[in-house]
């Protein structure tokens, strides 16, 4: 770390505010001010660019081990860096499932070897995501991977007694359960949001209440046992209401929303293209508005990508047979700018809070999400807010191609990403 | 006309009327002929791609294509394409390479014909996709109504049964609305989709209240396995509340007709004496299906040699 050269970033606007120079040295922001001049430092002219702390994703599927044809820790890390991320949480639904210290250590080690972002493995709550007995959560917490977030994501911890035990048990090491809220009986065979469009398209409905019922139950459980709860990928206005009430009541609950739920609606399903099949499903325009409002007022803590790479054959098929999920890492920032900044719902400081500061806090990643000030770790992203570009799926660094944004024009571009003072992305290109 | 027939919503009033008129012309042209065959689609290839068992629909399309002198290939790929190992896309590309001019597709997955249409050059005809649509069934139903009642505009059509899972109901609601008919759906609330209030149809839970105001009653097949998923308590209760028996049929207006897309569950949604009554059009629907499917194939494939001014 000390061997990497110092970087002098000239004329950058932290959080879109007044331009300054930043000196990154020895892995931290060493100096900050106007007209810095440092001999021997690499100079990056960042005039017009905006700086934010490096983005932190609470919800990434890296697919390794098991589906390396869709993504690997390395390709996913590159996609993350290009998207402005300096840390990602790797979800546990791999094959084998990340339900032991051995698997989380492997993922953590692969992340270190790739060296593009910090990969924080998420541990499974239950053995094999089967929802019947607790995985060895303590062993995963004590491993070098230092797991603090546990989730059966993709599957809901539906058994209320098991959910209660999980919430209680992780208090011993200050862990948090991240729930995929989906009542299984109400979503059997579900294919898309249940409403006017599912009725017309003849696709089995995934009702909003199946999400909201689990969230309501879980905030009550968390309050009862005094535990932390995190709710994954909120998708309905009703969920926002339940969380607002829970937070007002002092329940220790946090939650996230995906970029796609901030931009896309169930109208996308009309052509039966499985690129738009995702779980939870795309909802209505009213839900999108409620989610944006919830993110703006802080009811929703974080934007989390739910980056879900899939092999081509798992998407080039009939809707009902396709796997749910869409790519997100490389376009998350642009989508967030489109949905939140250009609409005036959040300023850049607010965006940094939801994409870096709070997710880092929820995931307990101390080196990330720190303010852009002297002494902070030099994890940051430089953004050109003024460019607009059309997304080309062929250009993605991810091994998979299942982006829902292909051919869409989106604003803002990640120019550079620094991980502990070392550039992982420069001029929009990955450095490894 | 568009290149494909994927949904009844693909048809505007002009398209739908053209298909019905063409079917009528075909019927007229073939009436009384010993050789019921037209040379219209000679040299064209029609593939029946059936991923789901459906002898009736498959035979109807097969005969329709043969009567237009097309070459017909039956490709039965029962079960999901995934479980068979070959993907729908690979199947599509194979048929494409063989030069299929039209693919008639029946599939258990809603939207499968839409996917197919993206991968092939030829015309795709939806012969029933999951719980989505079955447009040629709706066309033959409309044709049957028009022949029996002489009109479609302002005809009051009551559709009874498992609307939630019925592709027949979806296509009929869309097409009948396009053609100016007034549709009422009758079902237990469990068998109506969330969002049905946005459809161009009235909704009722009370069959007895609706029947005296119906020109057409269309009974849908109800699968007994719905009972196990608690959509209704028992076959007996379903039949009592929503079945069409002779007593209920007697409350219909004099000219009203009774339809069923088949196959019927006699004794469940429809009593045998109703199915076999003079009001019943069930057998006519089958023969009308042939004429309508000939018309659809003819119009989509742009056949140019209708004899004797059979088609304008």
Would A242 be classed as within a structural domain? yes
User: What is the distance between the alpha carbons of residues A12 and A296, in angstroms, rounded to a whole number?
Assistant: 25
Percentage of chain A modeled with pLDDT above 90: 99
Tell me: pLDDT of B157 over 90.
yes
Q: What is the reported pLDDT for B169?
A: 98
Q: Are A398 and A391 in contact (CB under 8 A)?
A: no
Which chain B residues touch A if contact means CB-CB below 8 Å? 80-82, 87-89, 107-112, 114-115, 129-133, 167, 170, 193-196, 198-199
Tell me: pLDDT of B80 over 70.
no
Q: Do A165 and A117 belong to one domain? A: yes
Confidence band for B86, pLDDT divided at 50, 70 and 90: confident
Q: Which of A198, A273, A317 is closest, CB to CB, to B195?
A: A198
Would A2 be classed as within a structural domain? no
Confidence band for B226, pLDDT divided at 50, 70 and 90: confident
Q: Do A202 and B129 touch (CB under 8 A)?
A: yes
Q: What is the spatial order of strands in the sheet that A118-121 belongs to?
A: A55-60, A85-90, A118-121
The tokens of B259 are what?
A: 């339809």
Q: Do A137 and A263 belong to one domain? A: yes
Q: Do B88 and A272 touch (CB under 8 A)?
A: no
Confidence band for B79, pLDDT divided at 50, 70 and 90: low
- Give the closest-approach CA distance of B112 to chain A in angstroms: 5
Q: What is the reported pLDDT for A373?
A: 98
**Structural domains of chain B sorted by starting position, each given as residue range(s) with its CATH number in brackets:** 8-133+286-309 (3.40.50.1370), 135-281 (3.40.50.1370)
DSSP B48-78: EEESS--HHHHHHHHHHHHHTT-EEEEEE--
User: What is the distance between the alpha carbons of residues A338 and A346, in angstroms, rounded to a whole number?
Assistant: 11
Tell me: pLDDT of B165 over 70.
yes
CATH number at residue A24: 2.30.40.10
User: What is the distance between the alpha carbons of residues A332 and A259, in angstroms, rounded to a whole number?
Assistant: 6
Q: Do B132 and A316 touch (CB under 8 A)?
A: no
- Give the closest-approach CA distance of B293 to chain A in angstroms: 23
10 Å CB burial of residue B134 (0-12, 13-18, 19+) is buried
ipTM over 0.95: no
How far is the CA of B13 from the CAs of A304, A420, B17, B144, B155, in angstroms?
Answer: 47, 66, 6, 17, 15
- Angle ∠(A281,A150,A105) on CA atoms, nearest 5: 120
Q: Do A142 and A163 belong to one domain? A: yes
How far is the CA of A226 from the CAs of A155, A159, A160, A167, in angstroms?
Answer: 24, 19, 15, 9
Would A412 be classed as within a structural domain? yes
User: What is the distance between the alpha carbons of residues B33 and A243, in angstroms, rounded to a whole number?
Assistant: 73
Residues on chain A touching B170 (C-beta within 8 angstroms): 200, 202
Would A271 be classed as within a structural domain? yes
Residues A373-421 have pLDDT tens digits of: 999 999 999 999 999 999 999 999 999 999 999 999 999 999 999 999 9
Would A62 be classed as within a structural domain? yes
Q: Do A381 and A352 belong to one domain? A: no
Q: Do A253 and A108 belong to one domain? A: yes
Q: What is the reported pLDDT for A314?
A: 96
Q: Which of A195, A199, A202 is closest, CB to CB, to B167?
A: A202
Cis peptide before A96 (omega within 30 of 0): yes
- Beta strand A380-390 pairing with A50-53: antiparallel
Q: Do A193 and A222 belong to one domain? A: yes
Q: Do A43 and A66 belong to one domain? A: no
Q: Do A251 and A397 belong to one domain? A: no
| Percentage helix, strand, coil for chain A under 3-state DSSP, each rounded to 5 | 35, 25, 45
For A39, the domain range is: 7-50+376-430
Tell me: pLDDT of B312 over 50.
no
Q: Which of A199, A273, A313 is closest, CB to CB, to B196?
A: A199
Number of domains in chain A: 2
User: Where would I find the beta strands (DSSP E) of chain B?
Assistant: 45-50, 71-76, 102-107, 123-129, 156-160, 182-186, 202-204, 216-219, 257-259
- Picking from A53, A92, A22, the residue whose alpha carbon sits closest to that of residue A333 is A53
Q: Do A202 and B89 touch (CB under 8 A)?
A: no
> What are A33's strand-pairing partners?
A21
Residue of A nearest to B163 (CA): A199
Q: Select from A363, A395, A422 the last residue of a domain.
A: A363
10 Å CB burial of residue A54 (0-12, 13-18, 19+) is buried
Q: Do B88 and A317 touch (CB under 8 A)?
A: yes
Q: Select from A320, A337, A363 the last residue of a domain.
A: A363
| A-B contacts at Cβ under 8 angstroms | 80
User: What is the distance between the alpha carbons of residues A258 and A253, in angstroms, rounded to a whole number?
Assistant: 17
Q: Do A217 and A144 belong to one domain? A: yes
Q: Do A347 and A400 belong to one domain? A: no
Q: Do A321 and B81 touch (CB under 8 A)?
A: yes
Residues 6+ apart with CB under 8 A from B45: B70, B71, B72, B73, B98, B99, B100, B101, B102
Would A61 be classed as within a structural domain? yes
Confidence band for B305, pLDDT divided at 50, 70 and 90: very low
Q: Are B145 and B205 in contact (CB under 8 A)?
A: no
Q: What is the reported pLDDT for B224?
A: 77
User: What is the distance between the alpha carbons of residues A107 and A86, in angstroms, rounded to a whole number?
Assistant: 16
Residues on chain B touching A283 (C-beta within 8 angstroms): none
Q: Select from A328, A363, A398 the last residue of a domain.
A: A363
Residue of A nearest to B174 (CA): A200
* Residue B204 burial (CB count, 10 A): 15
How far is the CA of B52 from the CAs of A9, B48, B116, B165, in angstroms?
Answer: 63, 11, 15, 16
User: What is the distance between the alpha carbons of residues A429 and A81, in angstroms, rounded to a whole number?
Assistant: 9
* Residue A39 burial (CB count, 10 A): 6
Residues A183-209 have pLDDT tens digits of: 999 999 999 999 999 999 999 999 999
How far is the CA of A9 from the CAs of A14, A87, A418, B294, in angstroms?
Answer: 11, 21, 11, 72
- Angle ∠(B228,B229,B231) on CA atoms, nearest 5: 105
For residue A383, what is the enclosing H or E element? strand A380-390
Q: Do A236 and A122 belong to one domain? A: yes
Tell me: pLDDT of B13 over 80.
yes
For residue B239, what is the enclosing H or E element? helix B235-242
SS3 A245: helix
Q: Do A279 and A411 belong to one domain? A: no
Would A145 be classed as within a structural domain? yes
User: What is the distance between the alpha carbons of residues A346 and A337, in angstroms, rounded to a whole number?
Assistant: 9
The tokens of B140 are what?
A: 């033959």
Known catalytic residues of A are: 306
* Residue A130 burial (CB count, 10 A): 13
The tokens of A254 are what?
A: 């946090």
User: What is the distance between the alpha carbons of residues A395 and A78, in angstroms, rounded to a whole number?
Assistant: 13
- Give the closest-approach CA distance of A169 to chain B in angstroms: 37
Q: Do B194 and A195 touch (CB under 8 A)?
A: yes
Residue of A nearest to B128 (CA): A202
Residues A166-179 have pLDDT tens digits of: 999 999 999 999 99
Q: Do B132 and A207 touch (CB under 8 A)?
A: no
Mean pLDDT of B245-250: 97
Residuewise pLDDT in 10s, chain A (432 residues): 446 799 999 999 999 999 999 999 999 999 999 999 999 999 999 999 999 999 999 999 999 999 999 999 999 999 999 999 999 999 999 999 999 999 999 999 999 999 999 999 999 999 999 999 999 999 999 999 999 999 999 999 999 999 999 999 999 999 999 999 999 999 999 999 999 999 999 999 999 999 999 999 999 999 999 999 999 999 999 999 999 999 999 999 999 999 999 999 999 999 999 999 999 999 999 999 999 999 999 999 999 999 999 999 999 999 999 999 999 999 999 999 999 999 999 999 999 999 999 999 999 999 999 999 999 999 999 999 999 999 999 999 999 999 999 999 999 999 999 999 999 999 999 997
- Picking from A354, A329, A205, the residue whose alpha carbon sits closest to that of residue A269 is A205
CATH number at residue A301: 3.20.20.140
Q: What is the reported pLDDT for B82?
A: 45
Q: Do B89 and A317 touch (CB under 8 A)?
A: yes
Residue of B nearest to A202 (CA): B132
Handedness of CA A87, A91, A96, A97 (dihedral sign): positive
Q: Which of A204, A313, A318 is closest, CB to CB, to B107?
A: A318
- Give the closest-approach CA distance of B87 to chain A in angstroms: 7
Confidence band for B32, pLDDT divided at 50, 70 and 90: confident
């Amino acid at each position: 770390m000390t061997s990497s050269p110092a970087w002098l970033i000239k004329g950058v606007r932290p959080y879109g505010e007044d331009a300054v120079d930043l000196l990154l040295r020895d892995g931290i922001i060493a100096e900050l001010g106007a007209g810095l001049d440092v001999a021997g430092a690499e100079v990056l002219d960042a005039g017009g660019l905006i700086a934010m702390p490096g983005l932190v994703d609470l919800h990434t599927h890296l697919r390794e081990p098991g589906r390396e044809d869709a993504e690997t820790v390395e390709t996913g890390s590159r996609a993350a860096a290009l998207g402005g991320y300096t840390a990602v949480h790797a979800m546990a639904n791999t094959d084998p499932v990340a339900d032991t210290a051995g698997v989380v250590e492997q993922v953590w080690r692969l992340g270190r070897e790739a060296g593009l972002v910090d990969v924080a493995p998420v541990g499974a709550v239950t053995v094999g995501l089967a929802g019947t007995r607790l995985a060895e959560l303590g062993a995963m917490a004590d491993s070098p991977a230092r797991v603090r977030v546990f989730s059966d994501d993709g599957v809901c911890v539906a058994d209320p007694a098991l959910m209660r035990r999980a919430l209680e048990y992780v208090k011993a090491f200050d862990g948090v359960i991240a729930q995929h809220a989906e009542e299984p009986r109400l979503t059997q065979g579900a294919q898309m949001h249940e409403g006017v469009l599912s009725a017309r398209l003849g696709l089995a409905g995934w009702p909003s209440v199946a999400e909201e019922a689990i969230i309501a139950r879980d905030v009550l459980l968390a309050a009862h046992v005094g535990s932390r709860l995190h709710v994954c990928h909120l998708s309905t206005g009703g969920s926002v209401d339940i969380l607002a009430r829970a937070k007002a009541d002092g329940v220790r609950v946090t939650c996230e929303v995906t970029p796609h739920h901030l931009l896309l609606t169930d109208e996308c399903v009309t052509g039966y293209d499985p690129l738009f099949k995702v779980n939870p499903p795309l909802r209505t325009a009213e839900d999108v508005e409620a989610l944006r409002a919830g993110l703006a007022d802080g009811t929703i803590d974080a934007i989390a990508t739910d980056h879900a790479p899939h092999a081509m054959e798992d998407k080039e098929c009939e809707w009902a047979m396709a796997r749910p999920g869409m790519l997100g890492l490389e376009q998350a920032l642009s989508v967030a700018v489109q949905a939140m900044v250009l609409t005036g719902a959040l300023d850049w400081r607010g965006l940094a809070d939801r994409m870096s500061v709070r997710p880092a806090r929820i995931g307990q990643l101390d080196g990330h999400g720190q303010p852009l000030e002297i002494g902070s770790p030099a994890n940051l992203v430089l953004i050109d807010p003024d460019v607009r570009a059309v997304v080309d799926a062929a250009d993605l660094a991810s091994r998979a191609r299942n982006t829902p944004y292909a051919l869409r024009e989106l604003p803002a571009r990640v120019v550079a990403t620094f991980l502990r003072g070392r550039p992982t992305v420069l001029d929009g290109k990955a450095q490894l | 006309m568009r290149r494909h027939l994927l949904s009844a919503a693909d048809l505007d009033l002009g398209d739908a009327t053209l298909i019905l008129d063409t079917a009528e012309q075909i019927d007229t042209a073939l009436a009384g002929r010993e050789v019921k065959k037209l040379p219209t689609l000679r040299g064209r290839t029609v593939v029946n791609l059936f991923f789901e068992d459906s002898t009736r629909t498959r035979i109807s399309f097969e005969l329709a294509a043969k009567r237009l002198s097309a070459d017909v290939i039956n490709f039965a790929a029962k079960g999901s394409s995934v479980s068979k190992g070959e993907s729908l896309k690979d199947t599509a590309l194979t048929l494409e390479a063989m030069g299929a001019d039209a693919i008639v597709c029946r599939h258990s997955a809603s939207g499968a014909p839409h996917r197919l249409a993206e991968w092939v050059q030829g015309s795709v005809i939806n012969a029933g996709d999951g719980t989505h649509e079955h447009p040629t069934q709706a066309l033959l139903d409309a044709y049957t109504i028009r022949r029996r009642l002489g009109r479609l505009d302002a005809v009051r059509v009551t559709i009874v049964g498992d609307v939630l899972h019925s592709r027949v109901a979806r296509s009929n609601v869309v097409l009948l609305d396009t053609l100016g008919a007034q549709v009422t759906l009758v079902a237990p609330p469990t068998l109506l989709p969330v969002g049905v209030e946005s459809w161009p149809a009235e909704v009722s839970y009370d069959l007895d209240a609706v029947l005296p105001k119906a020109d057409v009653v269309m009974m849908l097949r109800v699968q007994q396995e719905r009972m196990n998923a608690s959509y209704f308590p028992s076959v007996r209760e379903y039949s009592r509340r929503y079945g069409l028996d002779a007593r209920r049929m007697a409350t219909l207006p004099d000219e009203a007709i009774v339809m069923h897309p088949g196959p019927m569950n006699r004794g469940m949604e429809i009593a045998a004496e109703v199915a076999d009554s003079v009001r019943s059009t069930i057998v006519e629907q089958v023969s009308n299906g042939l004429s309508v499917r000939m018309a659809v194939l003819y119009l989509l494939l742009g056949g140019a040699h209708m004899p004797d001014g059979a088609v304008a």
